[in-house]
Amino acid sequence: MRRRPFLAASLGAALPRPAATQPARGWAPPQRMIIPYGAGNITDVVARVLLDVIGPLHGWRSVADNQPGAGGMLGAKALIRAPADGTVFGVVAAAALTILPNLQRPRFDPFPDLAPISGLTISYSFLAVNAAVPARTLDDLVRYARSRPQDDPLNYPSPGAGTVPHINLVALSQALDFPLQHVPYRTSAAGNTDLLANRVQVTMDSFALTLEHMRSGRLTPIAFNGPRRHPLLPEVPTFAEVAPGVDLTNSWQGLFFPKGTPQAVLDRAAADVRDTIASPAFAERLPPGAAPFPLTPEELARQVAAESARIGRLAAALDLKLE
């Protein structure tokens, strides 16, 4: 069994001893949640909301263990290597499961070594532009992008190659045949700063980042990547209305245990998490743009497989790969 003795021991020292010794004899909540992203990332925020709500509801007292790096891949690998005894679980975002495996050379896919538990949340985003861009509709944006000189294209930020904003704007520009230039940043916040300064012009990053600026008029919302218009900006059409047939991705997270964790542990964890996600206390504490995403283990497995296949086809068609 593969372990990380020092980290597990140091984290476990702060936790009640009974939970550490009982998984083989019966249910005991996991002790540690691996979060493959840094503090403040939307996945980190949502994961901590889950811990705050599931504790009072079901007695989970898990320690949050942030292990950021490589777009979530480092934390996903740490979860794979963790003890499969029910003491460790993790939250992994869509990019590490469905996007990055299709862009890496050699390809590394963490999903076969993870046991799916539940979907957690899904986050929708707006296509928006700096207010200086003379576009108020998607057609306006396409025409304006095509009219610009080849050496002065519209630019868009992302928190890195292979992230959801990057993939979505590649897919959109390909589907509607207009040029955009990708500018990767270390964080979404850094890209958003340059967006507001008009050093980059187009975004499809987190709704939580852009909402305030769309409301203030510094950004112009163009379209919403959700199933229906958002109640906070009901005047903005969905992509289904203005670009039917364009298939874009949303950010979402799933909960997983290491493969090989006892089935009884997986079943009980799935039931507790499902009940927590359905509770008003969970939904009320989510950040703007995030909504509960209560997939069963089987539905989560199908979500990963279907989305990975679709993004794999896109990556192959555009010869997308990480440098």
Task: State the CATH number of the domain containing residue 274.
Answer: 3.40.190.150
The angle subtended at Cα 261 by Cα 256 and Cα 267, nearest 5°, is 70
pLDDT number for residue 26: 66
| Structural contact between residues 75 and 89, judged by C-beta atoms closer than 8 angstroms | no
Is residue 144 assigned to a domain? yes
pLDDT number for residue 5: 40
Clarify whether residues 119 and 255 are in a common domain.
yes
| Residues forming beta bridges with residue 124, ordered by sequence position | none
Rounded distance between C-alpha atoms, residue 154 and residue 166, angstroms: 14
Question: Which two structure tokens, joined as six digits, stand for 258?
Answer: 């290491």
Rounded distance between C-alpha atoms, residue 221 and residue 73, angstroms: 32
List strand residue ranges (DSSP E) for 185-250, in order.
202-203, 219-224
**Count of structural domains, the chain:** 2
Report strand pairing: 32-35 vs 88-93. Answer: parallel
Clarify whether residues 204 and 263 are in a common domain.
no
Rounded distance between C-alpha atoms, residue 239 and residue 68, angstroms: 32
Clarify whether residues 78 and 89 are in a common domain.
yes
Write down the residue that tokens 């002790």 correspond to. Answer: 31
pLDDT number for residue 323: 58
Q: 37-85: per-residue pLDDT in tens? A: 887 778 899 999 999 999 999 999 999 999 988 878 899 999 999 999 9
Q: 256-303: per-residue pLDDT in tens? A: 999 999 999 999 999 999 999 999 999 999 988 889 999 999 999 999
Write down the residue that tokens 């203005």 correspond to. Answer: 242
Clarify whether residues 237 and 266 are in a common domain.
no
Range of the domain at 288: 5-11+30-123+250-318
Q: 159-204: per-residue pLDDT in tens? A: 877 888 998 999 999 999 999 999 988 778 889 999 999 999 999 9
Clarify whether residues 132 and 226 are in a common domain.
yes
| Structural contact between residues 206 and 252, judged by C-beta atoms closer than 8 angstroms | no
Lowest mean pLDDT among 10-14, 109-113, 212-216, 312-316: 10-14
Residue 192: which H helix or E strand, with range?
helix 188-196
| Structural contact between residues 63 and 11, judged by C-beta atoms closer than 8 angstroms | yes
Question: Is the bond leading into 297 cis (omega within 30 degrees of zero)?
Answer: no
Is residue 195 assigned to a domain? yes
Task: State the CATH number of the domain containing residue 208.
Answer: 3.40.190.10
Q: SS3 of 290, please?
A: strand
| Structural contact between residues 46 and 101, judged by C-beta atoms closer than 8 angstroms | no
DSSP 161-226: TTSHHHHHHHHHHHHHT---EEEE-SSHHHHHHHHHTTSS-EE--BHHHHHHHHHHTSEEEEEE-S
Is residue 17 assigned to a domain? no
Question: Which two structure tokens, joined as six digits, stand for 90?
Answer: 């993790």
Q: 246-266: per-residue pLDDT in tens? A: 988 889 999 999 999 999 999
| Residues forming beta bridges with residue 123, ordered by sequence position | 251, 290
Clarify whether residues 118 and 263 are in a common domain.
yes
Nearest to 170 by CA among 70, 107, 99: 99
Contacts of 170 (CB under 8 A, 6+ apart): 180, 182, 314, 318, 320
Share the mean pLDDT of the chain: 88
Q: SS3 of 74, please?
A: helix
- Quote the DSSP letter at residue 287: P
Last residue of a domain, one of 242, 277, 302: 242
SS3 sequence of 98-112: HHHHHHCCCCCCCHH
Between 207-216 and 188-196, two packed helices, what is the crossing angle to 10 degrees? 20
Last residue of a domain, one of 188, 217, 242: 242
pLDDT number for residue 72: 86
Model confidence, pTM: 0.78
